[in-house]
C-alpha cells in the first residue's frame, strides 16, 4: 500500500530549502550531552530544530546560539531528536514502544493528544507565565485538551488554503477579477482539468468538507473530525469529481506542487503557502487565496512525556515551555521556516533586538499568519492527524487513489 505522507513531505521540502542555504542545514538530533548536569530530550519535527552553535548543529540566524539560549535561563541543555513528523509511527512508538520514556518532550502535529494521553503528563499552565500571552483562539484549540486537561501546547501554527494564478484565472468566464476567494473554484466545472488537490487525506478531505459544509451541500459538524456518514458523503463527492476529470492530478510532495504551478498545468489548487513563494521566484504571479469559508489551520503541539516525570524534570520542562513562548524561539523559527509562535512576544523580542530589514521581514511573516485568523472571513477549521475514524479515512483515500 502506498504510504505517502503530507507532513513528511513538508519536512522534505524544508530540507531542500536548507540545502539552498535558506534554512538550517542540519536537522538531525543533537545527541552529545553538554557540560551541564541536566538535559531535556525533545523528540520533534525537524523543521522546529533551531540549531545549536555549541553543538555545531544548524545555523541560528538571530545572532544567538539557538537551543543554547535556553542554557542562559536554566541549568540545562536541549538535545533535539527528529521524529520525521510521520504521526502514525510516532504514535505507535509512544503507545507501544519506549519513546514516551526515552524522551522528555515531544512536538507533534495537533490531534494526537487523545491517543497519547496515557503516555503524557498534563501541563500546569500556571507554571508557564508566557501561556497568558498566547492568542486566545490558539489557547482554545480543542484537541489540545483531553478531559479538561491541557496535554498539548500549540507552540507553532500556520494555515493553508488555495494557490492560484490570477492572470490565467481571469480568462475564465465568471472569474474576470482574477481573484479566487472560495474553495468552490477547485470543484468548478469551468476549471475542469486545471485544478488539483494534494494526494493526502489529512489535507484534502478537510478542504472538501469545509466547502461542502459552508455551501450547505452536506450537514457536517466538525470538518476535521468527520463521522462515518459525513466521511462517506465527502469522499463520494471527491470521487465523482475525480471520475469527471475535474482534477489535473492529486499532487505529491514539494517538487511536484511547485512544478504544477510554475508550468501552469494547474491554475488553482489546494496546497502549502511556500509553493506560492517558490513560484514567484520563477517569475510566476502566484497568489494565496483568502477563502470566505475559512482556512485549514494546523498546529504543532509541545507534549510532556512520562519520561520527564521518571527523570524528575517536570519543573524544567515547564521552564522550557515558557522559554519557547518567550520571544527568541519564535523569532528564530520564523526566520528559518516561516512558521510562527501564536503570541505577541516574538514581535516584542524583534523590536528590542533587531532593526532594519531583519526586523521588517520577521514582523511581516508574523503578520501574514496572524492575519489569516484575525481577519478571516470564515470559521477556523483545524487539521486533525488522528480523527476518530482515521482508519476509515485511510480506506476511503485508497479507494479514491485506485479510481
| Mean of pLDDT values over 240-256 | 94
Number of domains present in the structure of the chain: 2
Q: What is the CATH number of the domain that holds 75?
A: 3.40.190.10
Same-domain status, 124 and 197: no
What average pLDDT does the structure give for the chain? 87
Same-domain status, 84 and 180: no
Same-domain status, 320 and 265: no
Asked if residues 395 and 205 have their Cβ atoms less than 8 Å apart, the reply is no
Select the more confidently predicted residue: 368 or 10.
Answer: 368
3-class secondary structure for 196-215? EEECCHHHHHHHHHHHHHHC
pLDDT digit string, tens, across residues 120-178 = 999 999 999 999 999 998 999 889 999 999 999 999 998 899 999 999 999 999 999 99
Same-domain status, 247 and 385: yes
pLDDT digit string, tens, across residues 352-372 = 999 999 899 899 989 988 888
Quick one: pLDDT band at residue 73, thresholds 50, 70, 90? confident
pLDDT digit string, tens, across residues 28-72 = 344 344 444 689 999 997 778 888 776 666 667 676 788 999 988
Same-domain status, 10 and 139: yes
> For the whole model, what pTM was predicted?
0.76
CA distance 140 to 223: 17
Same-domain status, 60 and 123: yes
Quick one: pLDDT band at residue 83, thresholds 50, 70, 90? confident
Q: Is residue 286 part of a domain?
A: yes
Q: Is residue 356 part of a domain?
A: yes
Predicted confidence at residue 19, as pLDDT, reads 39
Q: Is residue 321 part of a domain?
A: yes
Predicted confidence at residue 184, as pLDDT, reads 98
Same-domain status, 363 and 339: yes
Quick one: pLDDT band at residue 75, thresholds 50, 70, 90? confident
Q: Is residue 266 part of a domain?
A: yes
Same-domain status, 129 and 168: no
Select the more confidently predicted residue: 184 or 23.
Answer: 184
Same-domain status, 116 and 153: yes
CA 318 to chain centre: 23
Predicted confidence at residue 42, as pLDDT, reads 96
Same-domain status, 165 and 271: yes
Q: Is residue 1 part of a domain?
A: no
Same-domain status, 68 and 124: yes
Predicted confidence at residue 191, as pLDDT, reads 98
Asked if residues 186 and 169 have their Cβ atoms less than 8 Å apart, the reply is no
Same-domain status, 127 and 197: no
pLDDT digit string, tens, across residues 86-112 = 677 888 999 999 999 999 999 998 989
Asked if residues 197 and 355 have their Cβ atoms less than 8 Å apart, the reply is no
Quick one: pLDDT band at residue 323, thresholds 50, 70, 90? very high
Which residues span the domain enclosing 233?
159-296+380-401
Predicted confidence at residue 104, as pLDDT, reads 97
- Residue closest to 164 by CA, chosen among 244, 63, 276: 276
Amino acid at each position: 500500500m502506498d504510504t505517502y505522507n503530507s507532513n513528511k513531505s513538508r519536512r522534505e521540502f524544508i530540507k531542500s530549502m536548507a540545502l539552498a542555504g535558506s534554512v538550517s542545514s542540519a536537522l538531525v538530533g543533537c545527541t552529545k550531552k553538554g557540560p551541564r548536569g541536566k538535559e531535556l530530550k525533545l523528540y520533534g519535527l525537524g523543521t522546529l530544530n533551531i540549531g545549536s552553535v555549541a553543538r555545531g548543529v544548524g545555523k541560528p540566524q538571530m545572532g544567538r546560539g539557538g537551543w543554547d539560549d535556553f542554557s542562559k535561563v536554566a541549568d540545562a541543555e536541549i538535545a533535539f531528536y527528529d521524529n520525521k513528523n510521520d504521526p502514525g509511527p510516532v504514535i505507535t512508538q509512544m503507545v507501544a514502544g519506549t519513546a514516551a520514556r526515552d524522551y522528555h518532550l515531544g512536538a507533534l502535529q495537533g490531534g494526537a493528544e487523545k491517543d497519547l494521553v496515557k503516555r503524557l503528563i498534563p501541563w500546569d499552565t500556571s507554571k508557564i507565565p508566557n501561556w497568558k500571552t498566547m492568542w486566545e483562539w490558539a489557547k482554545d484549540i480543542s484537541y489540545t485538551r483531553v478531559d479538561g486537561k491541557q496535554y498539548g501546547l500549540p507552540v507553532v501554527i500556520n494555515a493553508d488554503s488555495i494557490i492560484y494564478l490570477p492572470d490565467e484565472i481571469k480568462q475564465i468566464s465568471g472569474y474576470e477579477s482574477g481573484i479566487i476567494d472560495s474553495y468552490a473554484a477547485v470543484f468548478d466545472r469551468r476549471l475542469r482539468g486545471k485544478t488539483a488537490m494534494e494526494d493526502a487525506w489529512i489535507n484534502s478531505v478537510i478542504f472538501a468538507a469545509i466547502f461542502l459544509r459552508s455551501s450547505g451541500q452536506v450537514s457536517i459538524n466538525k470538518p476535521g473530525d468527520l463521522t462515518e456518514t459525513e466521511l462517506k458523503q465527502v469522499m463520494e463527492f471527491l470521487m465523482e469529481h475525480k471520475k469527471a476529470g475535474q482534477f489535473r492530478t492529486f499532487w505529491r510532495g514539494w517538487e511536484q506542487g511547485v512544478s504544477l504551478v510554475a508550468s501552469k498545468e494547474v491554475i488553482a489548487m489546494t496546497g502549502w503557502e511556500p509553493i506560492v513563494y517558490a513560484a514567484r521566484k520563477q517569475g510566476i504571479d502566484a497568489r494565496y487565496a483568502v477563502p470566505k469559508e475559512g482556512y485549514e489551520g494546523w498546529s504543532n503541539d509541545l507534549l510532556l512525556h512520562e519520561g520527564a516525570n521518571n527523570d524528575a524534570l517536570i519543573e524544567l520542562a515547564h521552564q522550557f515551555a515558557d522559554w519557547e513562548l518567550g520571544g527568541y524561539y519564535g523569532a528564530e523559527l520564523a526566520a528559518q521556516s516561516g512558521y510562527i509562535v501564536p503570541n505577541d512576544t516574538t514581535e516584542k523580542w524583534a523590536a528590542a533586538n533587531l532593526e532594519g530589514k531583519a526586523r521588517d521581514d520577521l514582523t511581516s511573516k508574523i503578520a501574514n499568519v496572524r492575519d489569516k485568523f484575525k481577519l478571516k472571513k470564515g470559521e477556523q477549521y483545524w487539521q486533525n492527524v488522528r480523527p476518530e475514524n482515521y482508519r476509515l479515512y485511510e480506506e476511503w483515500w485508497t479507494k479514491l487513489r485506485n479510481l
